[in-house]
Structure 1
Amino acid sequence: MTAVTDAVKTGAGTLAPRPRGGFAQGISDSLIVAKRNLIRMSRIPEMIIFGLIQPIMFVVLFSYVFGGSMNVGGSTDADVYREFLMAGIFAQTVTFATAGAGAGIADDMHKGLIDRFRSLPMARGAVLTGRTLADLVQTALTIVVLAVVALLVGWRVHEGVLKALGAFALLLLLGYAFSWIGALIGLSVRTPEAATSGGLIWLFPVTFVSNAFVDSGQMTPWLRHVAEWNPFSATVQASRELFGNPGVSPSDAWPMQHPVIASVIWSVLIIAVFRTLAVRKYRSATA
């Protein structure tokens, strides 16, 4: 008995509980939760299929229905608008995945799965980090398919493969940042339906009051100012520059002058703020 007691006190032996903290454990637990969510997603293929339908519809509709009537840099050429459009569609796709992330977390809360995770000796933030990482993988797969569709309708990359990969990395970073907003919403509501609605309400003004679909230089001055300082706009503009696609009218706004740096700063700031709030909400919601 003395040996067992000493083993527990010193952390030796199999009876010692696994520590809840630690950076290495947090990463390990997060990857395990991410794997669990990826396996779950693979067993529900309609989640991926339906996630692809909307962005593909946006590509086709905006390209062929609105393409000839949009003015980009003084040109109404549909081919020019098609290349201008794609960075915005990519960004919209990665951010709209936020609603799904929030709904998934709300569903886990509703079914009591979060309480079961809480009973395990695991890092507190691992449940949310694993979920957001799994959603990031799904979003990346969606972007790959969407890029193929974009190439079929005439979109092209003009600055080389490395810069294109950099643009996709910025897009995924923005999507990951916004997924933490979705996580916070999912923890704050009672049903998955409410999480989906709450996740979309704020996304529409963020994505449409931006330079994603129209040249912000054509907006009224106050609306243009909002659009140019929108984190979403910074990532869209950075992607256009890295893809070598047509951009918006020249602007004196700092995010539009330095879109790559602005995109990284905005995304990291959003992750830092909303991850902190989401983990805090998770702890209080399951306490």
Structure 2
Amino acid sequence: MNSTAIKTGVSKRPLRKYTSFRQSVRNSLTMAYRGLLKIRRTPEQLFDVTLQPIIFTLMFTYIFGGAISGDVQSYLPVIIPGILVQTVISTSIVTGVQLREDMDKGVFDRFKSLPIARVAPLAGALLADTIRYTIATVLTFGMGYIMGFRPDGGFGYVALSGILVIACSWAVSWIFAFFGVIARTASSVQGISMLVLFPLTFLSNAFVPVDTMPDWLQWFVNINPVSHLVSAVREMVNTGHIGSEIVYSLIGALAIVVIFAPLTVRAYMRRT
């Protein structure tokens, strides 16, 4: 401690050096790898993305298939895209919950002492969770195939629809990451996220035709971003067609990132 610090009673801390964009990307990828190591050491973190697609696909198909489409096979082209979007987006809630848990445990406080970009732990967590989305996507399509679903669009459009869902879920994860930064507890993050996500997923065209709903509800369902994403996946998977629905989905995902990424980073910088 120098003489100035002794006189003022405040010790001088070394200032954090400016981090280049290239180094920030490298640090973020390193933190993403850390997230993958966490999954390998605690595989029970994958229970939601491994069991939920199987359970939901079986449950919704056999409960609603006969009532809505007459039989299970006719319902599969409708429900598989809906289950895919609902399952993958739901897993993005874990991003905010785990982020809050790490902050409560002081993990990010330890990261501050390292010569890395401050935003790297946040960006790394968001990148690592794309693996969870990919697992849920593959299992949902795989379960549908086992049950007899044969998409007319072909493998290429199936893969493209999966990439679209993963990208949109990554965008949505910024919303839950924001909740994870500003909320007080992990349980409150999960509660708030459920209140936001459940109306969007269930008040959509994911499970039943829109024309069976009341007129006032149809208005909301038709402008619901989840409905546009489900419709985009159905078009690609079932007909091999790329239409305006994919454009609406990408615009919605971009809007979420533009709004919530700066908010999340700013809140994260203040908290850490």
With the length of structure 1 as denominator, give the TM-score of the two structures: 0.84
The code of the aligned residue for 2:84 comes to F
Q: Which of these residues, 120, 126, 130, is aligned with residue 126 of structure 1?
A: 120
Equivalent residue runs for 1:45-194 within 5 Å = 45-70=43-68, 75-194=69-188
State the distance in 2 between where 1:223 and 1:85 align. 20
CA displacement at 1:245 relative to structure 2: 6.1
State the distance in 2 between where 1:123 and 1:236 align. 37
Identity %: 35
Q: Which of these residues, 204, 213, 216, is aligned with residue 219 of structure 1?
A: 213
The match for 1:271 is 257
| Matched position secondary structure for 1:91 | helix
For residues 152-195 of structure 1, give each alpha carbon's deviation from its aligned partner in whole angstroms, at most 9, with x where no partner exists.
11222111222111111110011101111111111111222222
CA displacement at 1:19 relative to structure 2: 4.3
The match for 2:225 is 231
CA displacement at 1:145 relative to structure 2: 2.0
For residues 28-56 of structure 1, give each alpha carbon's deviation from its aligned partner in whole angstroms, at most 9, with x where no partner exists.
11101100011011111111134321221
| Matched position secondary structure for 1:268 | helix
State the distance in 2 between where 1:141 and 1:208 align. 22
Q: Confirm or deny: 8 A CA contact 1:157 1:243 kept in the other structure.
A: yes
Equivalent residue runs for 1:221-260 within 5 Å = 221-244=215-238, 258-260=244-246
RMSD over aligned Cα atoms? 2.2
State the distance in 2 between where 1:55 and 1:196 align. 19
**Gaps spanning 5+ residues in structure 1: where?**
1-15, 247-256
Q: Confirm or deny: 8 A CA contact 2:85 2:226 kept in the other structure.
A: yes
More deviation, 193-202/85-94: 193-202
State the distance in 2 between where 1:240 and 1:263 align. 13
| Matched position secondary structure for 1:202 | helix
The code of the aligned residue for 1:199 comes to S
State the distance in 2 between where 1:108 and 1:24 align. 25
For residues 205-248 of structure 1, give each alpha carbon's deviation from its aligned partner in whole angstroms, at most 9, with x where no partner exists.
010111111111222223212112111111110000000169xx
**Gaps spanning 5+ residues in structure 2: where?**
1-13
Matched pairs, number: 259
From the superposition, tell whether residues 20 and 34 of structure 1 become closer, same or farther in structure 2 (CA, over 3 Å).
farther
Q: Confirm or deny: 8 A CA contact 1:163 1:242 kept in the other structure.
A: yes
The code of the aligned residue for 2:109 comes to D
State the distance in 2 between where 1:62 and 1:168 align. 20
State the distance in 1 between where 2:257 and 2:196 align. 17
Q: Confirm or deny: 8 A CA contact 1:124 1:279 kept in the other structure.
A: no
CA displacement at 1:121 relative to structure 2: 2.9
4+ runs deviating over 3 angstroms? 16-21
State the distance in 1 between where 2:231 and 2:183 align. 33
The match for 1:200 is 194
CA displacement at 1:149 relative to structure 2: 1.1
CA displacement at 1:115 relative to structure 2: 1.4
Q: Confirm or deny: 8 A CA contact 1:98 1:179 kept in the other structure.
A: yes
State the distance in 1 between where 2:15 and 2:25 align. 18
With the length of structure 2 as denominator, give the TM-score of the two structures: 0.89
The code of the aligned residue for 2:39 comes to M
The code of the aligned residue for 1:42 comes to R
Q: Does 1:262 align with 2:260?
A: no
From the superposition, tell whether residues 100 and 265 of structure 1 become closer, same or farther in structure 2 (CA, over 3 Å).
same
